[in-house]
Amino acid sequence: MDEVRAQIRADGFCWIDLEAPDDDDLQEVARHINLHPLTIDDAKTFRQRPKIEDYADYMYLVVFGVDPGTASGGPLLREVHMIITGEAVITIHRRPNDALADLRKHYDDQHIRSEQFLVYKILDAITSTFIPVLSRIDEDIDELEQQVIDSTSSEQLQRIFSIKRDLIAMRRVIAPMRDMFQRSGDKITELPGLQTDDKLYFRDLYDGLIRISELVDSYRDLLSGATDMYLSQVANNQGEINKQLTIIATIFLPLSFLTGFFGQNFSFLTTDVINQTWTFWVLGIGLLAVSVAGLAVWFKRKGWI
């Protein structure tokens, strides 16, 4: 915090990245930047919706990215709070954020063209984390479709639901962020004391969020198609199993009738009909073989086997 106080007091512009700060840290920052009490409360409260709030001399944003290293179905979203003033930009997050860490390393020893450009790069680093996750989802959907065609299993359905949860989570934050930058993105360039730059940077954020939103919607449609394909394949497999069982039952129907008929203990059958050796081979084995062969020929002509 001593370094933070020194940077805030210095005559210039700084980026302060706070990971899991406590209440004392936020109060210390608020004393030097003169934050509104509502801003301090918002900075302490996570699990919010994307939003942008315009105060007298600063702006407060809640934006979301994702962690590309998180497995499908896990806690994917990464919430970042931003306070943008003419003297500093402050990012607050509870978990380590690799995108912000890489950006700090990249610009640690480099000159930044403007303060607005730094704000844009921070927002762009956060929102760009959706791209590798969506690319991974695209590959997963293609792989799932091929696996479903080859052979269905319950694991495939679990993967479909995991990917669907990821898409729903991303869609829940991407659409509000897209609308937020469409309405109020240019207001960042109007902050007092903030070194100006090209407004097209913030419009580029809006365009990028539109593309991401369209990708999410298209992958949801592809995933719905994969789900329908899975259910159709399962139904086809069940139909094939039912057909096989029906064939087996049909074959055993005449066999059961013949064995049941000649197994009756009537004196006429036992004394006059099945009292010779040839009756066993002709009436017993022969009729059974003929019935099986006849049914096999019939099934073949019908295309069932």
Q: What is the pLDDT of residues 178-211, one digit of tens each?
A: 988 888 767 777 777 676 666 677 788 889 899 9
Query: What pLDDT, on a 0 to 100 scale, did the predictor assign at position 10?
Result: 63
Q: For residue 64, what are the β-bridge partners? A: 79
Token pair for 32: 């030097």
For 44-66, letters b (16+ CB in 10 Å) and e give eeeeeebebeeeeebbbbbbbbb
Residue 1: which pLDDT band, with cuts at 50, 70 and 90?
low
Q: How far is Cα 106 from Cα 167, in angstroms, rounded to an integer?
A: 30
Percentage of residues in the chain with pLDDT exceeding 90? 19
The DSSP letter of residue 189 is: G
* Domain definitions of the chain by residue range: 2-235, 244-302
Fold of 2-235: Beta Polymerase; domain 2 (3.30.460)
For the cut 80, the answer to whether the pLDDT of residue 266 exceeds it is no
For the cut 80, the answer to whether the pLDDT of residue 273 exceeds it is no
Residue 172: which pLDDT band, with cuts at 50, 70 and 90?
very high
Query: What pLDDT, on a 0 to 100 scale, did the predictor assign at position 5?
Result: 65
CB 32 within 8 Å of CB 87: no
**Which run of H or E residues covers position 25?**
helix 23-33
